[in-house]
Amino acid sequence: MAGKEKNEAAELFSDVWQRGSYSGFSRNTSGETSTPFLEAFLRHVRALGMPRPRVVELGAGSCDHALRCAREDFSTTAVEYSGVAVAAARERAAGYPNLSLEIVQADLFAFTARLGPDSCSGVYANSVFHFLSAEERRTQYRILRNALVERGVLGISFKARGDALEARGSVVRDTAAGPVVQGDDGIRRLFVERVDALADEMRVEGYAVREVVRWSVPGYNISQQRGEFVGIFAAR
Ligand SMILES: C[S@@+](CC[C@H](N)C(=O)[O-])C[C@H]1O[C@@H](n2cnc3c(N)ncnc32)[C@H](O)[C@@H]1O
């Protein structure tokens, strides 16, 4: 996928933020401060035993998970494309002046290209890499592996099943990991059916896959149904 399409997803999501129809993946739910995926990320980073580890959240949205990382005393950088999301998150973060939380408005592709070698203990992206093509994911794995310290961890999560955008959308491509569905918001997302295919992509780029986490949220965006999610943790 060329750069044009990648910015399309970010631009389309920016419109969603602008319209006020979205305030974050788990804003005002218990998932704001804790999910099995977020807890696993914190555990993997803590296990490195480093004082004040530096972590980066890509596509941070409301920045609630970045805020949680900062509260764990991680030196945290949140990267988000939408100016609306960034303004709201900065206002909220101002209430926590003692935390080490930097909120950067940027395209994640431009941001990661500038990361120095061995500069991060952990990189986290919750429900963001599903916008990326297989080729873009591979490029990011390569760039991020270089940015991670030895044994540093990359955690990425995806939607799996039970999602209104998938139900209303149409499949535009079948991939080894699952279908790419274009939603009625115009955004293309990968819905993961075969997590092994994603894990293999990371292994090919030299990562050791440490853990796969599955979790579900009752009535996530379809009442009476569970929204199902899957996350992968892989270490340099
Ligand atoms: C589904 S939301 C998840 C937000 C957040 N990770 C959370 O857990 O609440 C995806 C976020 O990624 C952002 N995003 C999409 N493409 C991006 C890009 N190329 N660079 C930076 N942010 C991007 C969107 O603006 C949106 O806030």
CA distances 43 to 27, 153, 158, Å, are 22, 10, 19
- For the chain, the domain total comes to 1
CB of 10 closer than 6 A to ligand 1?
Answer: yes
Does the Cβ of 62 fall within 6 Å of ligand 1? yes
Q: Determine if ligand 1 sits within 6 Å of the CB of residue 236.
A: no
β-bridge pairing 188-190 and 101-105: unpaired
Q: Count other Cβ atoms within 10 Å, centred on residue 51.
A: 6
Task: Identify the CATH number of the domain in which residue 220 sits.
Answer: 3.40.50.150
Q: Whose CA is nearest to atom 7 of ligand 1?
A: 25
Q: Give distance in angstroms: CA of 14 to centre of ligand 1.
A: 9
Per-residue pLDDT of the chain (236 residues; tens, 9 = 90+): 444 455 889 999 899 899 887 766 676 677 888 999 999 999 999 999 999 999 999 999 999 999 999 999 999 999 999 999 999 999 999 999 999 999 999 999 999 999 999 999 999 999 999 999 999 999 999 999 999 999 999 999 999 988 888 889 999 999 999 999 999 889 999 999 999 999 999 999 999 999 999 999 887 787 788 889 999 999 99
Alpha-carbon distance of 197 to 192, in angstroms, equals 9
pTM, rounded to two decimals: 0.95
The CA distance from 41 to 123, in Å, is 9
List the domain range (segments joined by +) for residue 200: 3-235
